[in-house]
Structure 1
Amino acid sequence: MLNSEPSAELPGSQQQAAGGSKVTAERVAVVVLLAAAVIAFGYTRHKYHQTTEHLQKLIDENAAMRKNITKTRCEVMTVQKPCPQPPAEPCGKCQEGWEQNGPQCYYFSTDQLTWEQARERCRRDGGALVKIESEDEQSFLMHTLRDKMVEKEDRFWIGLTDSVTEGTWLWTDGTPLNKSLTFWGKGQPDNLKGENADGQDCVRMGEISRSGLKWWFDKSCTAPQKRICEKSAETGR
């Protein structure tokens, strides 16, 4: 009679089978977890983009609404309270015989006097020998003189002199000449002493044939010349 003994291989086979099943279950669990993580990440990413797009849409709508409110408010304010117009400035006028340029009046004489006499006559008429303070003013005087000069030496005194200190040019109000704003003719001032031992200490302007703004020439203060007087325009009524 054969002995029925338990097979020695059975327990090992069962252990191997059980071990294989455990490994397979762990792998399945890992795969499931990874799949769940991927799905969760994808869902979160999708929701993030949706939230971002929604937020940007709200921002754009808010900006458009604020712009529309501001525009509407400005329109309402304009209708309810229009901007006040600046008050009209009083008009200036010059007395008869004087010519106006902006707020200033100018008198161009026809008689000839020495520089000191011309200065005193301008004072007596309520003004002063002209003080030229801009290119625009020089241009106005130049173009006006073109219509009044009949010969080359027909020139006009202006209020500039260096009779106090040679080479230091002063206007009649005592202010020094701005060296960056001068209109000397070519080679001027030359202080020639041919007609007066004291030289040429006063300034006249005018040159029929010359172009540009360089119309100043020094001259002996005792030479008779025409004059340009200047004063502020009176307030119109």
Structure 2
Amino acid sequence: MSEADGIVYSDVKFTRPKRNTSGTASSEAEPTYSEVRILKTHPSTELPGSQQHPVSNGGSKVTPERVVIVVLSALLAAAVIALGFTSLDNMHTKQSFQTLRDELEAVKRNLTERRCEVKSYNTVQQTSPQPPVVKENDPRSKCEHGWEQYGRQCYYFSIDLLTWSKSRDECRQKGGDLVQIDSREEQTFLELKLREKNNFEWVVFWIGLTDSEKEGTWLWVDGSSLNESLTFWFPGEPDNWTGRDSDGADCVRMGKKAGAPDLKCWFDQSCKYAYRSICEKPAETGHFTLHCV
């Protein structure tokens, strides 16, 4: 609204007494005109009791749409910041899991190295008389029915009378092979078991040792060489006796019940003879298995 729209003009007439020349007032009145300007105002449309806020004509108006945009922008910025912190936490968590995994692998390697060191020590120690020591069975592993458990290995004492090669075939069919003796403790375990099972002095069992490829070069069934510092030959053995077989004695049996000093009960014998046998295979386990390399 312009300033002209708010002004109303009006003429107001006033009467003034007329003076005569004699100085007395005349009864007739002389009219006088005067201009009066009145500012016209518009009535307020606000409800009683409400407060009227002045509106600045010079600034921009704040609309609801702008308020919504500002609020949404603030929420979006907060969401981006929260997502950044979440991503950073996830990255740190992933790094922590990787660190724990690396530490677990290090523990496994350490246990493997310790086990291999113990096994190496057992294979090179001297075979001087010592009391029998039998290792306790690993509670995390088990053997199937008919097999005897020692540590993490299972042993089957077959009563079938077979040649050395056929005895080995039988062990393979059962998932194992002829026994390979790697420690004094294992020899002690086997000898004690044979004493429990034998009712006669000369009931003997084939083991997985032979020099059939080259005379005097003793190899286990896995192809590894016999550790000469860890042997349990009966005194005077091996002798490669050819009295009953001209091919000599190229396979090894064990199990003499009495008279063998300090676990020394290995004999070389003709591979063509029929004896019982001892099979060996790893025990079943649901946990990680350590292997020496």
Match of 2:174 in 1: 125
Could you give the per-residue CA deviations for residues 123-175 of structure 1, whole angstroms, max 9, x where no partner exists? 11000100000000000000000011122221000000000000000001110
Match of 2:246 in 1: 197
Alignment partner of 1:213 out of 240, 254, 263: 263
Is 1:233 the counterpart of 2:233 in the alignment?
A: no
Cα distance in 1 between the residues matched to 2:201 and 2:215: 27
Q: In terms of mean alpha carbon deviation, does 203-212 or 182-191 score higher?
A: 203-212
- Secondary structure class of the residue paired with 1:109: strand
Letter of the 1:133 counterpart:
D
Superposition pairs for residues 1-237 of structure 1, below 5 Å? Answer: 91-210=140-259, 211-235=261-285
Using the aligned pairs only, state the percent identity: 57
Q: How many pairs does the alignment contain?
A: 151
Letter of the 1:105 counterpart:
C
Q: Report deviation, 1:194.
A: 1.1
Could you give the per-residue CA deviations for residues 172-218 of structure 1, whole angstroms, max 9, x where no partner exists? 11100000100000100011111110010000001111242101001
Q: Is the 8 A contact 1:90 1:236 kept in 2?
A: no
If each structure's helix is expressed as a fraction of its own residues, which one has the higher value?
1
Q: Report deviation, 1:110.
A: 1.1
Could you give the per-residue CA deviations for residues 2-43 of structure 1, whole angstroms, max 9, x where no partner exists? xxxxxxxxxxxxxxxxxxxxxxxxxxxxxxxxxxxxxxxxxx
Q: Is the 8 A contact 1:157 1:225 kept in 2?
A: yes
Structure 1 unpaired stretches of 5+: 1-85
Match of 1:6 in 2: none
Q: In terms of mean alpha carbon deviation, does 130-139 or 143-152 score higher?
A: 143-152
Q: In terms of mean alpha carbon deviation, does 202-211 or 89-98 score higher?
A: 89-98
Cα distance in 2 between the residues matched to 1:173 and 1:200: 20
Letter of the 1:229 counterpart:
C
Q: Is the 8 A contact 1:112 1:224 kept in 2?
A: yes
What TM-score, normalized to structure 1? 0.61
Letter of the 2:200 counterpart:
E
Cα distance in 1 between the residues matched to 2:199 and 2:157: 14
Q: Is the 8 A contact 1:93 1:236 kept in 2?
A: no
Q: Report deviation, 1:236.
A: 5.3
User: CA RMSD of the aligned region, Å?
Assistant: 1.9
Q: Measured at CA, do residues 90 and 149 of structure 1 come closer, stay the same or move farther in structure 2, by a change above 3 Å?
A: closer
Please say which structure displays the higher CA radius of gyration: 2
Cα distance in 1 between the residues matched to 2:201 and 2:272: 19
